Each structure stands twice: as C-alpha cells, then as structure tokens.
Amino acid sequence: MLDVARFPSRSQFDDHIELEQLRTPSGEIFNYIDIGSGPPLVFVHGLPGQATDFLPLLELLSAQYRCIAYDRIGYGGSRAPSPKHVRSVEDNVPELISFLDALSVDQAVLAGWSFGMHIAMDAAVAHPNRVTALISLGGSGPSFTWPNGTLDKLLFKSVIGRPLIKLVRAFGEGAFRASLDDAFGGKMPDELVTSFHKSLYAPGMIETWLGEGRNWKPSTSKAKHIEQPLLILHGDEDTRIPVSVALELHATVRTARLEILEGVGHWPFASHPELVAQKCQDYLKSIATSST
C-alpha cells in the first residue's frame, strides 16, 4: 500500500478511501483508487495531475459505477521499469491498457481531463473493443496545441523550466495559488493546493510534466475515427482550454454531445462535482437505454 502521507488524498476522504498499488507483468507500478461497483468508469488525469484529483466525483458516482482513477506513469506513485521523462500520448495509451488488464477490466467508459482526453481518445481509436464510451471533462480537442501562453512557453520551451519550477516550489504552496485559482475558476480548496504542491516532490514528476508538455501534439486525424458515444462537459470560464476547443471536438466527432457548463473553470469535477456527476449519470443512462 502506498504511503498516503507522501501523496495525500483529500483529507475528508482519508478515513474510508485508500490508495492502492499494483505491478503489471511488464513491471509498471500503478498507484490508483478503485471504489464502488457496477460498470467500470476510468478517469485519466491531465498534465500534471493525480488520481486523488477526482475524489469528490468518485464519491458521488461510486454508488452506481466502479470508479477507477490512477496516477499516470511518472506522476504520484506510478512508475515504469525504465523511467522515460520525455513522454507522449502514444506512451500513455499502452500503459492505460496494461493497467486495465491488470485489474481485469475488459471494457470501460473513459473520462479524460485536459491532456488526459487526448489519451482517452487515442485509446478509444486504438482499442475500440475496450472503450464503450468517452467523457471529456474540460478535455483537450483535436487540434489544440500547448504551451500557448507566455509563462507556459517559458516553462516548457526553454532550458530554465525545471529550475524555475523547483525554485517556485521552494517558496511553498502559496506560490502556486494565483495560477491554480485562475484555472479552477475561483478560489481552489486549500487541500487541493496542498496536494498539488506535495505532488511536485514525487520522483521524476517535474521531468515527466515538462517532457509531456514539450511533446504535446494534436490528434485531429485520430479524433475523426472515434465511433463511441462521447459526452463533452466544458466550462465557459475555462482559461486553460477555451470553449472553442470543445466546439471543435463536438464538430469533429459525429457521436458527440456537447454541454457547456456556465460559470465553470478548468476543474469541473472538483469545483462542481454534483453537477458533473448528474450530467455523467444522465448521459450514461441514456446511452445504456438506447443500446438495449
């Protein structure tokens, strides 16, 4: 079992939700949360991120679904046998499938947040028999490229990115408050800010974060081949991935349903978990009914 003190979950859930670990036959170590029962619903976090980001939403959905969230390789407690810090979506997809295999999950709905949506989309195209539906939670779209802001370009396109993050990290969790609040769409809960700051001390996390950011590539051609049902939930106050990205994704995937969430930023599952849970439940019930 992973030392939760190093990679903390939300304090209000610590008494009954534990982080687990498994090792795949190929040697990857995955840190994850697995709660509830029912059809599997797997959450893929962004860049950066960790399994515990989704806790409020997992709690709400776990009465009807088996909710699984994992640290992607290089984040939190998940590790590859041979660490590779310059990573891509193409690296993440087989690792996700390997993780599902280890849990004996043959089919699942994939919910991707931010960069995680690229991974979910590519997994749906590469393994159509394993992915029954997709949910985009403030997800990246087909041609969205990043970094695209001045600060992000400084961090991800220059040699000072790593030392700059480590320098800011040394000033404590308050140093990240302004940028996190902006992405959150309001004051981010203190426990989330604390969790983000502590996650920066996970071995190799900064290098993985920078490597994935530098290697971010659009996936328009793959998105066009998505056949599974897709629900797009996107906040109209998302400052990290604008609504225009959701509109493009909706126009690209013929099976997509788009819902714009008013007054919601880039962390809809954490800022408005009840709203997101209800939208997910309604959609998954509707597609289950239509398929019978």
Does 206 fall in a domain?
A: yes
Does 103 fall in a domain?
A: yes
| 237-to-190, 200, 229, 265, 268 alpha-carbon distances in Å | 21, 26, 25, 5, 10
Does 2 fall in a domain?
A: no
Does 5 fall in a domain?
A: no
Does 150 fall in a domain?
A: yes
Does 3 fall in a domain?
A: no
Of the listed ranges 8-12, 111-115, 123-127, 246-250, the one predicted with least confidence:
8-12
| For the chain, percent of residues with pLDDT exceeding 70 | 92
Residue 30: which domain range? Answer: 11-290
Amino acid at 24: T
Does 1 fall in a domain?
A: no
More confident residue, 232 or 88: 232
pLDDT band at 29 (very low <50, low <70, confident <90, very high): very high
Domain count across the chain:
1
Give me the count of residues in the chain: 292
| 79-to-76, 86, 111, 204 alpha-carbon distances in Å | 9, 14, 22, 9
Contact between residue 159 and residue 136 where contact means Cβ atoms under 8 Å apart? no
Here the CATH number for the domain that contains residue 170 is 3.40.50.1820
The pTM assigned to this predicted structure is 0.92
Residues 107 and 129: their CA atoms lie apart, in Å, by 7
pLDDT band at 105 (very low <50, low <70, confident <90, very high): very high
What pLDDT, on the 0 to 100 scale, is given for residue 221?
65
Does 4 fall in a domain?
A: no
Nearest residue to 69 via CA among 57, 81, 60:
57
